[in-house]
Amino acid sequence: MSAQNFWGSKWSYIVGGVMIGIIVSIGFNMTSPGHASQDGNVIYQPASMPPPADPQDLNVANQLSNAFAAVAKDVNPSVVTIFTESTIKMSGQSFNGSPFEQFFGDDFFNHFFQRRSPQGDMKQHGLGSGVIVDSDGIILTNNHVVKDADDIKVRLMDGREFKAEVKGTDSQTDLAVISIDASDLKPIKLGDSDKARVGDWVLAIGSPLQPELEHTVTAGIISAKGRSGVGLSQYEDFIQTDAAINPGNSGGGMVNLHGELVGINAAIATQNGGFMGIGFAIPVNLAKKVMSDILEKGKVVRGWLGVYIQTITPEIAKALNLNRSKGVIVSKVQKDSPAEKYGLKDEDVVIKFNGKDVANSTELSTWVAGSSPDAEITLTVLRDGDEKDINIKLGELTPDKQNLADGTSQFDKVGLTVSNITNDVSGKYHLPDNVKGVVITSVNPNGIAAANGLREGDIVVKLNKSMIESVDQFSDVLNNVDDGDMVLFFIQRGRANLYVAFQMPEK
C-alpha cells in the first residue's frame, strides 16, 4: 500500500468512526448537554448562549481583513502565470520478458499497458508563477519552473499572453530571470527580507495546480527564517511559511502587509504531495543579488572564502569543550585563499558572520556566496577558547574553486574528474575501508586518460611519486606538470595496484 493510500484509508477510518459514534450516541440519548458532579451523577442544565462579539474585536478583525484585501488588489497585477513546454526523448522500453509480465500474465499487460512505450519525442507541459520586477517586462521566477523548457509563455492578470525569453538562470539558488516584450507593466515593490520577522503576516500569490486557479491569494505567517540544509539547492536561506503553497505556486510572490516582496515561493515539505503547512520561499535580498548579476554581468558572481567547513555536532562540541553545538568548524584552509591571507586557521569555530549567528555550514556558505567578490566581511571565531573577530576581503568563486570546495575537480586537459573519498563515494564504488587517495569519478572516452586505460572508480594513490590524500593535492601536482612532460599515476583498482604513465598533451 502506498503512503498516499495508507493515509487516505487512515483518515477514512477516523471519519467513519466518528460518524458511527454519533449514530450510536443518538440512539442511546448520550448527547444531552451536562457536566459531571463530584458524586459522578450527571446534572443537566440549559446550554448558555455565547456572548455577543465585542465590537472592538470585530474592528481589529476588519482592519486585518481590509489590509489583506488591499494588498491582494495592489500586488496581484504584478504576479504572472508561466506556461512551459519541454521535449522528452522516449526510449521505447519494452515489458516483454520482464518479471512483472511473468507474475501478472499476458492478459494483464495487454489490457493495461502497451507492449512497448512510445518512441520519439513527447511534449511535457508545466505550470508556474512569476513576479514582474520591471515595467519593461523583466520577471523573476524559479529556475525549476523554466529549466529545459523549449517554449515559455507568460499570462498577465488582464489575460494578455506573451512569449518569454530566458535572460539567465542560477540552479544553485533555484532562481531565474525571464523577459517579455511588453511595457508599462506594474512592477512589484521589493522589500527587505532581513527585516522580516518570525510571526509577521504574509500573503502568497500564484497559480496553484491549474491555470483556472491563477492569482490565488493565501495568508499565513512567517514560521521561521534561515532554513538551510533542506537539500533543495546548493545555497539555502529559506523563509518558512504556513501560507498555503501548492505545485504551480513556484516562482510566485510572498509579500508582507505593506505589499512588498519578501520572498520567491519555491517549495513545500509534504508527505502526501499536497500542502501540509510548511512552505519555503527564497529571501528577496538573495534574489535581488542574483537578478542584478544576471542582468548586469550576464552571470552570477559569488564571494569566495576558501575553506572546508563542517557543522558543529554535539559530539564535536563536547570533544572541543564548546558550550554550544551551533556554528561551523574549519577543517582546512585552502592554499592562496582569502581565508589563508587574512589569518583564518584550521580548527577555528565560526560562530558569527557580520554579526549574525551561524547555525550550520550551508548557512555560512550561502552568506559567503551571496556576497560580492571584494566584499569585506567579519567572521567571529572561537580559537583556543577565545572569541576573535577576523576581517576578510573575499575573492571571487570560480568554477574550479567551486569544484575544490565541493571536494571534486575536473581536468579537461587529460579528460577526467576526481573526488575526495567521502561516505557517499565509498558506497558508490564499494571502496575498501581506510583507503587513501582520490577517486576518478568520470573519464572522457575521447581523452588521453581513457586512451591510456584509466577508468571510473580507480583510486589515485600517488601522482608523480607524491602521495595523494585530497583533491587539493592532486590538483597541485597535476597543475605543476608542464605540457609535453610525463605524468605517472599509481592507482588501486579492486585488489590490484598498477602504474599508468603518459605524456601531457601540448596546447
CB atoms within 10 A of CB 383: 15
Given 343, 365, 399, the domain boundary residue is 399
Greater pLDDT, 187 or 87: 187
pLDDT of residue 42: 56
428 within 8 A of 413, measured Cβ to Cβ: no
**Highest mean pLDDT out of 5-14, 216-225, 423-432:** 216-225
CB burial string 407-427: b at 16+ within 10 A, e below: bbbebebbbbbbbbbeeebee
Q: Is the pLDDT of residue 246 over 80?
A: yes
Residue 428 lies in a domain: yes
| For residues 22-38, average pLDDT | 36
Q: Is the pLDDT of residue 9 over 50?
A: no
| For residues 328-350, average pLDDT | 88
Considering the domain architecture, whether residues 371 and 412 belong to the same structural domain is answered as no
Q: Has 250 been annotated as catalytic? A: yes
CA distance 236 to 369: 11
Number of structural domains in the chain: 4
Residue 307 lies in a domain: yes
Q: Quickly state the pLDDT bin for 78 (edges 50, 70, 90).
A: very high
Q: Is the pLDDT of residue 256 over 90?
A: yes
CA distance 228 to 356: 15
Given 349, 374, 399, the domain boundary residue is 399
Considering the domain architecture, whether residues 250 and 379 belong to the same structural domain is answered as no
Given 361, 377, 399, the domain boundary residue is 399
CATH number where 457 lies: 2.30.42.10
Nearest to 255 by CA among 54, 74, 447: 74
Catalytic member of 78, 129, 170, 174: 174
Beta strands 438-443; 408-411: pairing state: unpaired
Considering the domain architecture, whether residues 442 and 358 belong to the same structural domain is answered as no
- CA triple 51-53-57, angle to 5 deg: 135
Q: Has 472 been annotated as catalytic? A: no
Which residues face 178 on adjacent strands? Answer: 139, 166
pLDDT of residue 166: 93
pLDDT of residue 400: 66
Rg of the chain's alpha carbons, rounded to an integer? 30
Instruction: Give per-residue pLDDT as tens, 366-380.
Output: 889 888 888 899 999
Instruction: Give per-residue pLDDT as tens, 188-229.
Output: 999 999 899 999 999 999 988 888 888 889 999 999 988 876
| For residues 151-159, average pLDDT | 92
- CA triple 271-273-274, angle to 5 deg: 100
pLDDT of residue 261: 95
Residue 289 lies in a domain: no
CATH number where 154 lies: 2.40.10.120
Residue 386 lies in a domain: yes
Q: Is the pLDDT of residue 313 over 90?
A: no
Considering the domain architecture, whether residues 376 and 452 belong to the same structural domain is answered as no
pLDDT of residue 363: 83
Residue 1 lies in a domain: yes
Q: Is the pLDDT of residue 3 over 60?
A: no
Residue 179 lies in a domain: yes
CA distance 202 to 261: 10
Give the distance from CA 154 to its chain's centroid.
24
Report pTM.
Answer: 0.66
Considering the domain architecture, whether residues 161 and 267 belong to the same structural domain is answered as yes
Considering the domain architecture, whether residues 366 and 458 belong to the same structural domain is answered as no
**What percentage of the chain has pLDDT greater than the value 90?**
30
Considering the domain architecture, whether residues 148 and 191 belong to the same structural domain is answered as yes
- Which whole-number Å values give the CA distances from 426 to 87, 340, 438, 457, in the listed order? 36, 30, 11, 10
pLDDT of residue 405: 60
pLDDT of residue 271: 76
Residue 140 lies in a domain: yes
Number of H helices, E strands in the chain: 13, 30
Cell 519555503 sits on residue: 280
| For residues 381-386, average pLDDT | 86
Considering the domain architecture, whether residues 369 and 425 belong to the same structural domain is answered as no
Q: Has 35 been annotated as catalytic? A: no
Greater pLDDT, 330 or 19: 330
Q: Is the pLDDT of residue 100 over 70?
A: no
Residue 169 lies in a domain: yes
Catalytic member of 78, 144, 365, 371: 144
CA distance 191 to 322: 38
| For residues 21-32, average pLDDT | 35
| For residues 237-264, average pLDDT | 90
261, with CB counted inside 10 A (0-12, 13-18, 19+), is: buried
Mean pLDDT of the chain: 80
Considering the domain architecture, whether residues 414 and 456 belong to the same structural domain is answered as yes
Considering the domain architecture, whether residues 139 and 175 belong to the same structural domain is answered as yes
In which domain, by residue range, is 313 found? 303-399
- CA triple 240-246-248, angle to 5 deg: 115
Considering the domain architecture, whether residues 245 and 390 belong to the same structural domain is answered as no
If you ran DSSP here, which 8-state letter would residue 159 be given?
A: S
Q: Quickly state the pLDDT bin for 25 (edges 50, 70, 90).
A: very low
**Which residues does 4 contact at the CB level (< 8 Å), separation at least 6?**
272, 273
Considering the domain architecture, whether residues 164 and 249 belong to the same structural domain is answered as yes
17-21, 76-80, 254-258, 489-493: least confidently modelled range: 17-21
Catalytic member of 223, 250, 361, 475: 250
